[in-house]
Structure 1
Amino acid sequence: MATFVLRVWIPDRPGALGAVASRIGSVHADVIGIDIIERGAGRAIDDLVIELPDAELVDLLLAEIAQVEGVDVEDIRELDGPLLDPAIHALQIAGSMQRCSSSVEALAKLVQGAEALIGADWAAVVECDAAAVVASVGEDVPSEKWLCAFVAGVTAEGARGDHDELAVTSLPNQNLKLLVSRSSLPLRSRERSVLEALCGLL
Structure 2
Amino acid sequence: MTYLLRVVLPDRPGTLGAVASALGQEGADILSVDVVERHQGVAVDDLVVDLPSARPPDVLITAAESVRDVTVESVRPFFGPLDTARELELVEAVAAAPEEGITRLTDAVPRIFRSAWALVVEASTDDVWGDSGSTRVRRVASSSAAPETEAESLPWLPLRRAAVLDPAAGHTVPPAWTDLDTELAAAPLGRADRALVVGRPGGPGFRPSELARLSHLAGIVATITG
Q: Is TM more than 0.5 here?
A: yes
Name the residue aligned to 1:172.
190
Residue 97 (structure 1) aligned to one of 94, 99, 103: 94
1:40-189 paired onto structure 2 within 5 Å: 40-56=39-55, 58-80=57-79, 82-85=81-84, 88-100=85-97, 102=99, 105-130=100-125, 131=136, 132-137=138-143, 138-146=146-154, 149-152=155-158, 155=160, 161-163=163-165, 165-185=183-203, 186-189=205-208
Q: Deviations over 1:25-78 (max 9, x none)?
A: 222333232111012243211112223344515333332222222211122233
Alignment TM-score, normalising by the size of structure 1: 0.76
Is 1:197 matched up with 2:205?
Answer: no
Q: Deviations over 1:63-115 (max 9, x none)?
A: 22222222111222333354223xx222222222222252xx32122222223
Write the distance in 1 (CA, Å) between the matches of 2:197 and 2:113: 12
Q: Secondary structure at the match of 1:151?
A: coil
**Judging changes above 3 Å, is the alpha-carbon distance between structure 1 residues 155 and 74 closer, same or farther for their aligned structure 2 residues?**
same
Structure 1 unaligned runs (5+)?
Answer: none
Write the distance in 2 (CA, Å) between the matches of 1:48 and 1:188: 16
Letter in 2 for 1:151: L
Write the distance in 2 (CA, Å) between the matches of 1:196 and 1:20: 31
Write the distance in 1 (CA, Å) between the matches of 2:78 and 2:140: 31
Letter in 2 for 1:201: V
CA contact (8 A) 1:124 1:141 kept: no
Letter in 2 for 1:109: R
CA contact (8 A) 1:126 1:144 kept: no
- Count of paired positions: 191
CA contact (8 A) 1:123 1:141 kept: no
Q: Secondary structure at the match of 1:56?
A: coil
CA contact (8 A) 2:185 2:199 kept: yes
CA contact (8 A) 1:35 1:46 kept: yes
Name whichever of 88-97 and 119-128 sits farther off: 119-128
CA contact (8 A) 2:102 2:221 kept: no
Write the distance in 1 (CA, Å) between the matches of 2:79 and 2:116: 16
Structure 2 unaligned runs (5+)?
Answer: 126-135, 167-182
Say what the alpha-carbon RMSD is for the aligned residues. 2.9
Q: Secondary structure at the match of 1:150?
A: coil
Is 1:23 matched up with 2:22?
Answer: yes
CA contact (8 A) 2:105 2:221 kept: no
Q: Secondary structure at the match of 2:57?
A: helix
CA contact (8 A) 1:122 1:141 kept: no
Q: Percent identity?
A: 34
